[in-house]
Amino acid sequence: MNNNTQVSDRIKQIPKSAIHEMTRLSKKIDDVSFLSWAKPTSGAPEHIGRSVIEAINRKVVDGYSESMGLPELREEIVNKLFKCNKIKAKPSQIIVTTGAIEGLSAAIMAIVDPGDEVILPSPTYSTHINQVVLASAKPVFVPTIEEEGFILDIDGIKKAITPKTKAIVYCSPSNPSGTVFGEHQLLQLAEIVLEHNLMVITDEAYEYFTFDGFTHFSLGSIPEMQKNVISTFTFTKTYAMTGWRVGYLLAHEDLIPQINKAHIPLTICAPVASQYAALAALNGPQDCIGKFRKQYESARNLMCGRLDNLKSLFEYQKPAGSYLMFPKILVEEGKDSKTFCEDLLREARVSTTPGVDFGPTGERHLRLSFCVPNEMINKAFDRIEEYYMKKYGSSG
Ligand SMILES: Cc1ncc(COP(=O)(O)O)c(C=O)c1O
């Protein structure tokens, strides 16, 4: 066991993950309904695995690749960025990363100095917060406007900028709220960034999963922003490739060698077998994306419908993207989100994620994932209704 003096101050600042604690507690209980998984439950399309087996047989996966990734993969990524994100890039602007997470870590390490401030519109993905802390920088939370669907508070961001502000990190579509930041707001954000010569690091993990006519907009598509944005993407969500650990980042050509200096000590290169999987994903049929989107939309509608029957317990903003939502808890005032989730797990056998993991404005919220089969959603909500019926005599 480490004693306190052996552990870095950076690590001490990172709280124990409530998400992992919920997973640990869930394992102790039989037949749990999970609304806490933020990972695709379906597998990757089969042709992806087959092409990796071929690559293994061709004996091309056993060594390292170039640190920036296989040249043929970077070429395909450039094509995808042009087709899907309206971004004109060159292969020299791409680094293939070990998931989006490593790309985000490398990007943050490359641009942030100890003591710098990094603005995080919150609630936000807990990993971003921890990555900023690991770089010895200071997370500055700017609450999003919940009543309007957790949209960016542009004035709040302006007010939060100080001489120490270095960067803004956001994910859209958002984990945990499912908000899709609109083009109009992102253009306003770009103006602020250019005025103060800041960097923006985007996490576009859920880029394909938007509903109701909402569309994903990439800040990297704005020509004037080329030097001020590092965009990160992943194969994890798009092709249900969580375990392959492969993603990529895009940055200005001049910045790439600097980011690569962080990428190499973090991972040397992305796993080569996974890079072949990524190549197969980009070159192969794309129909899985539409199928996943349709399933998530149907699951979202079901979850929102079930929440409509629980209006006295939860208030929610309908998510326009991702496969996550972030309802506010209206009952049991004074109970924090961690205790609320633990009680729900123990008493109703439903696993959810405490909102506090997503920054201070996440308290008194739950993160629910609708990336689960519809039967799981129904079973979970039947249990929640039954539990509250017993407790209060009514659940609605
Ligand atoms: C917003 C966001 N970014 C990144 C990731 C993980 O990406 P990767 O598996 O590519 O590292 C997740 C996973 O839940 C996520 O929600």
Map 221-286 to HEC letters: HCHHHCCCEEEEEECCCCCCCHHHCCEEEECCCCCHHHHHHHHHHHHCCCCHHHHHHHHHHHHCCC
Give 148's DSSP letter. Answer: G
Among 234, 296, 323, say which to mutate for ligand 1: greatest number of ligand atoms within 8 Å of CB.
234
In a shared domain, residues 173 and 274 = yes
CA-CA distance, 300 to 206, in Å (whole number)?
A: 15
Among 97, 237, 274, say which to mutate for ligand 1: greatest number of ligand atoms within 8 Å of CB.
237
In a shared domain, residues 191 and 237 = yes
* Total domains in the fold of the chain: 2
- Residue 396's pLDDT is 65
Ligand 1 atom 14: residue of nearest CA:
38
In a shared domain, residues 133 and 251 = yes
100 CA: nearest ligand 1 atom: 10
Tell me the residue type at 143: P
| Inside any domain, residue 393 | no
Residue recorded with tokens 């994100």: 85
CA-CA distance, 131 to 211, in Å (whole number)?
A: 29
In a shared domain, residues 268 and 297 = no
Whichever domain contains 269, its CATH number is: 3.40.640.10
Whichever domain contains 354, its CATH number is: 3.90.1150.10
Per-residue pLDDT tens over the stretch 191-250: 999 999 999 999 999 999 999 999 999 999 999 999 999 999 999 999 999 999 999 999
Among 77, 98, 102, 127, say which to mutate for ligand 1: greatest number of ligand atoms within 8 Å of CB.
127
In angstroms, what is the span from residue 100 Cα to ligand 1's centroid?
6
In angstroms, what is the span from residue 303 Cα to ligand 1's centroid?
22
Question: Which residues in the chain land under pLDDT 50?
Answer: 1
* DSSP per-residue string spanning 38-72: -S-SSPPPHHHHHHHHHHHHTT-SSS---TT--HH
In angstroms, what is the span from residue 101 Cα to ligand 1's centroid?
6
- Burial string for 348-362 (b: 16+ CB within 10 Å, else e) reads bbbbbbbbbbbbebb
In a shared domain, residues 227 and 291 = no
| Inside any domain, residue 7 | no
In a shared domain, residues 73 and 221 = yes
Ligand 1 atom 3: residue of nearest CA:
205
Pairing of strands 353-354, 366-369: antiparallel
Ligand 1 atom 1: residue of nearest CA:
175
Tell me the residue type at 168: I
CA-CA distance, 345 to 339, in Å (whole number)?
A: 10
Q: Which of 283, 301, 330 is the endpoint of a domain?
A: 283
* Structural domain for 91, as ranges: 47-283
In angstroms, what is the span from residue 235 Cα to ligand 1's centroid?
9
125 CA: nearest ligand 1 atom: 1
Ligand 1 atom 16: residue of nearest CA:
175
324 CA: nearest ligand 1 atom: 16
- Residue 3's pLDDT is 58
**Residues at CB less than 6 angstroms from ligand 1:** 38, 99-101, 125, 171, 175, 203, 205, 234, 236, 242, 247
In a shared domain, residues 377 and 244 = no
Segment holding 95, helix H or strand E? strand 94-97
In angstroms, what is the span from residue 222 Cα to ligand 1's centroid?
24
235 CA: nearest ligand 1 atom: 10
In angstroms, what is the span from residue 219 Cα to ligand 1's centroid?
18
Query: What is the greatest pairwise CA distance in the chain?
Result: 65
| Inside any domain, residue 3 | no
Per-residue pLDDT tens over the stretch 113-163: 999 999 999 999 999 999 999 999 999 999 999 999 999 999 999 999 999
| Inside any domain, residue 27 | yes
Q: Which of 259, 283, 307 is the endpoint of a domain?
A: 283
- Residue 1's pLDDT is 45
C-alpha distances in angstroms, 162 versus 166, 198, 348?
9, 11, 46
| Inside any domain, residue 395 | no
Q: DSSP alpha helices (H): ranges in the chain?
A: 9-13, 18-26, 46-57, 71-85, 99-111, 126-134, 154-160, 183-196, 256-267, 272-283, 287-308, 337-348, 374-392
In a shared domain, residues 66 and 212 = yes
Q: Do 317 and 326 form a contact (C-beta atoms < 8 A)?
A: yes
CA-CA distance, 317 to 148, in Å (whole number)?
A: 8
In angstroms, what is the span from residue 276 Cα to ligand 1's centroid?
20
Q: How many CA within 13 A on the CB side of residue 329?
A: 26
- Residue 346's pLDDT is 94
Q: Which of 261, 283, 305 is the endpoint of a domain?
A: 283
Residue recorded with tokens 């039967």: 375
- Residue 392's pLDDT is 77
> Which pair of structure tokens corresponds to residue 9?
């101050």
In angstroms, what is the span from residue 8 Cα to ligand 1's centroid?
25
